[in-house]
């Protein structure tokens, strides 16, 4: 009897499962046609929620997908034209001023400044493009330029947004979309925030007036508060204007926002990477200014690596040298670099770094004490929000998420590396063929394994809080987005070979072709990825294999095979691409501030040729004023057209500000 009952239950479960599968297939069949071509969903669902077919379909579009186009309107084009006319007027107004030393990080926008255009030539050009645009608007009325998006997409997005039990967030390392339970997300965030060594809760935010007074006092201590005429200095205006809206001082101090990206590439239980979005916070403008200045100091370090193109140039030079069978590759990363930096030691290293830079560049003379005090102000005031009216302050390490944090950290590690090189290399305790670091990742080429071990041990003995963790050592390493290997050539010599490295958890959630992006954006994205593969694969077989995989992945995201293949055949050979980075094109200074016509990407813009409308007539570009205003770049037009994209799924569904009420027991922990 029991055996018969057990058999009956198994049949019933099997039947239920089949019924569910049939219902799911029916729901899939009812989806709009655009979803049928997407076979790679690329989702990381770590929540308890079972997604509906519609929810899964919409989220599979990816964070960068633009679901709903901006409606076309005459007003949008008119506003774009007026903004362009104003930029021409401002350029004409300052035509005789030398802007070569202009510091954009200290620039405060004056939206009310609108000088008249008194030049006949420029007025003629404005009238010309007005007439051209009017003709195009009549030819393509706004109400005739509509892209109809399936209503299901908008309804599903709103349903997901209104579900307060889950959080839609980005997976760490740009590995796709992650769906997490809100309670888990909150617990994981507070697990980190309740570490009193790293963070402390703030019950009352400092007042805006108190912070403004603190900034003014800091500037005054370095004679930077007022200029020679007694007016507030450009530094003061840039740092203080941040606290005003329409000229009126704001009442609540703007802070950063704490959020997590989920480390789905790690084994469960999953953890979150803490990020503090600082844009709009009271330290952001100062941090941007510091980052702009200190980048010059950072580039002077011998171990500094700009990007993987820089690494390819170095590898090309190494391959012209003789490598032996004992040669060893080594890669490592610095464990928890940002929170491990002791601030006082970091500021001391920063001071030494700026002094050394000033000694090597006498014409520069950066104000050391001023820059160090500003950096201290930013890093000691990393105040952020997590939870409704719940604020925290970072106590240890650098202020993660603020612009200057990366530069400051890299300068600190650069100073430790200088100690490493100076104290040991000249005493014959340390020797290597090559050493470079990108942020907290290190790659080196050693004469043998013993040299690699010596470097590792000596580095870890310099500063106890900064420790290296070996990731690879031998004939093969993974570094950033590349695999670097020691291989034997046909001439029986050793050389470094490179190929692309992709994390196993990568979901390859490329933007589908029916996203409301400009088609040129989607096309160039594919071309640039093909170029990246071709450049970084030194072996043709590796590239061909990866090209096939990439094509299949694009097809799984809705692209046609013929279209992808037509783009693949346009890719130059590796030698040409390598020569482009070995002999980079240096842009003329005039390119630093080009003329730009900014408009919204709407369905109407697909039919109106804005670039042709803005084309400068020959007699205007050849005039005396025209030659100075319209500085035409090689193989390009005098005016760049830039399209503002509408909201992506990331902007519609994810949030950097977690403003829910915290769970009562956790709220109590915060107050304690």
Residue 559: pLDDT over 80: yes
Measured CA to CA, the distance from residue 69 to residue 517 in angstroms comes to 9
User: Which candidate, 163, 189, 169, places its Cα nearest to that of 654?
Assistant: 169
Coil, helix or strand for 389? Answer: coil
Task: Please tell me the predicted confidence (pLDDT) of residue 217.
Answer: 93
- Report the Cα 214 to chain-centroid distance in Å: 31
Cβ atoms of 387 and 665 within 8 Å: the answer is: no
Pairing mode, strands 256-262 and 383-385: parallel
Cβ atoms of 468 and 460 within 8 Å: the answer is: yes
Task: Please tell me the predicted confidence (pLDDT) of residue 377.
Answer: 94
What band does 383 get if pLDDT is binned at 50, 70 and 90?
A: very high
Name residue 615's beta-bridge partners: none
Average pLDDT score over residue span 490-514? 88
Q: Write down how long the chain is.
A: 672
DSSP-derived secondary structure letter, 646: -
Name residue 256's beta-bridge partners: 384
Residue 589: pLDDT over 50: no
Q: Which residue do the tokens 């770094």 mark?
A: 353
DSSP-derived secondary structure letter, 499: E
What band does 2 get if pLDDT is binned at 50, 70 and 90?
A: low
DSSP-derived secondary structure letter, 273: E
What band does 246 get if pLDDT is binned at 50, 70 and 90?
A: low
CA dihedral 35, 38, 43, 47 (to 10 degrees): 30
Identify whether 269 is preceded by a cis peptide bond (ω within 30 of 0).
Answer: yes
Name residue 392's beta-bridge partners: 201, 384
Cβ atoms of 236 and 226 within 8 Å: the answer is: yes
Each residue of 163-201: pLDDT tens digit? 989 999 988 888 889 999 999 999 999 999 998 888 999
Measured CA to CA, the distance from residue 573 to residue 580 in angstroms comes to 11
Q: Which residue do the tokens 């944090």 mark?
A: 405
Average pLDDT for the chain: 85
Average pLDDT score over residue span 629-654? 80
Each residue of 440-452: pLDDT tens digit? 999 999 999 988 9
Q: Which residues, 6+ apart, have CB-to-CB distance to 570 below 8 Å?
A: 527
Q: Which residue do the tokens 């007025």 mark?
A: 123
The 10 Å Cβ neighbour count of residue 315 is 20
pLDDT top residue among 167 and 17: 167
Average pLDDT score over residue span 653-661? 82
Average pLDDT score over residue span 585-593? 51
Each residue of 403-427: pLDDT tens digit? 999 999 999 999 999 988 887 766 6
Rg (CA), the chain: 29
- Three-class DSSP labels, 415-479: HHHHHHHHHHHCCCCCCCCEEEEECCEEEEEECCHHHHHHHHHHHHHHCCCCCEEEEEEECEEEE
Measured CA to CA, the distance from residue 651 to residue 149 in angstroms comes to 18
Residue 554: pLDDT over 90: yes
What band does 381 get if pLDDT is binned at 50, 70 and 90?
A: very high
User: Which candidate, 177, 175, 240, places its Cα nearest to that of 209?
Assistant: 240
Q: Which residue do the tokens 């204007």 mark?
A: 241
Q: What sign does the dihedral 267-59-273-185 (CA atoms) show?
A: negative
Residue 429: pLDDT over 80: no
């Amino acid at each position: 009897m029991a055996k018969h009952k057990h058999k009956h239950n198994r049949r019933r479960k099997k039947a239920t499962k089949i019924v569910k599968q049939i219902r799911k297939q029916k729901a899939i069949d009812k989806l709009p046609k655009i979803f049928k071509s997407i076979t790679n969903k690329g989702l990381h669902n770590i929540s308890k929620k079972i997604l509906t077919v519609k929810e899964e379909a919409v989220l599979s579009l990816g964070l960068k997908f633009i679901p709903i186009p901006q409606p076309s309107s005459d007003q949008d084009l008119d506003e774009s034209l007026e903004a362009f006319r104003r930029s021409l007027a401002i350029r004409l107004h300052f035509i005789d001023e030398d802007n070569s030393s202009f510091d954009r990080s200290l620039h405060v926008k004056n939206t009310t400044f609108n000088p008249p255009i008194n030049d006949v030539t420029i007025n003629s050009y404005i009238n010309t493009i007005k007439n051209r645009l009017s003709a195009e608007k009549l030819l393509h009325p706004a109400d005739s330029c509509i892209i109809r998006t399936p209503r299901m997409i908008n309804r599903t997005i709103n349903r997901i947004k209104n579900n307060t039990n889950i959080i839609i967030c980005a997976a760490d390392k740009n590995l796709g979309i992650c769906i997490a339970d809100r309670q888990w997300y909150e617990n994981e965030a507070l697990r980190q925030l309740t570490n009193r060594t790293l963070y402390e809760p703030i019950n009352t935010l400092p007042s805006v007036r108190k912070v403004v007074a603190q900034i003014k006092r800091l500037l005054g201590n370095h004679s930077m508060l007022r200029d020679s005429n007694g007016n507030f200095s450009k530094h003061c205006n840039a740092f203080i204007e941040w606290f005003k809206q329409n000229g009126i001082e704001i009442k609540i101090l703007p802070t950063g926002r704490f959020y997590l990206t989920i480390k789905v590439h790690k084994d469960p239980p999953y953890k979150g990477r803490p990020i503090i979005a600082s844009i709009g916070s009271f330290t952001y403008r100062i941090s941007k200014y510091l980052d702009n200045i200190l980048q010059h100091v950072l580039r002077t370090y011998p171990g500094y690596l700009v990007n993987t193109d820089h690494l390819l140039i170095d590898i090309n030079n190494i391959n012209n040298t003789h490598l032996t069978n004992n040669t060893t590759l080594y890669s490592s990363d610095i464990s928890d670099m940002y929170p491990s930096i002791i601030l006082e030691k970091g500021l001391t290293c920063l001071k030494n770094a700026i002094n050394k830079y000033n000694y090597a560049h006498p014409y520069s003379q950066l104000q050391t004490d001023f820059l160090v005090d500003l950096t201290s102000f930013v890093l000691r005031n990393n105040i952020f929000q997590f939870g409704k009216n719940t604020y925290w302050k970072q106590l240890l390490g650098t202020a993660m998420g603020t612009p200057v944090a990366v530069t400051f950290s890299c300068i600190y590690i650069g100073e430790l590396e200088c100690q490493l090189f100076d104290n040991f290399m000249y005493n014959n305790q340390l020797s290597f063929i090559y050493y470079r670091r990108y942020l907290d990742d290190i790659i080196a080429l050693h004469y043998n394994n013993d040299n690699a071990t010596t470097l590792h041990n000596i580095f870890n003995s310099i500063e106890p809080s900064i420790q290296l963790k070996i990731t690879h050592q031998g004939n093969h390493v993974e570094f950033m987005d590349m695999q670097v290997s020691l291989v034997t050539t046909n001439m029986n010599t050793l050389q470094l070979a490179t190929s692309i490295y992709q994390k196993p958890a990568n979901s390859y959630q490329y933007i589908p072709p029916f996203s409301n992006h400009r088609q040129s954006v989607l096309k160039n994205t594919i071309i640039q990825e093909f170029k990246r593969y071709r450049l970084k694969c030194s072996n043709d077989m590796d590239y061909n294999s990866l090209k096939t995989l990439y094509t299949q992945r694009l097809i799984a995201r809705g692209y046609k095979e013929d279209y992808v293949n037509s783009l693949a055949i346009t890719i130059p050979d590796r030698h040409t691409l390598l020569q482009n980075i070995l002999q980079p094109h240096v842009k003329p200074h005039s390119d630093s501030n080009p003329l730009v016509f900014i408009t919204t990407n709407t369905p109407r813009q697909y039919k109106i040729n804005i670039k042709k409308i803005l084309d400068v007539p020959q007699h205007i570009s050849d005039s005396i004023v025209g030659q100075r205003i319209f500085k035409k770049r090689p193989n390009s037009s005098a005016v760049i057209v830039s399209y503002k994209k509408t909201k992506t799924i990331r902007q519609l569904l994810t949030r950097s500000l977690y403003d829910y009420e915290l769970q009562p027991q956790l709220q109590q922990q915060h107050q304690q």
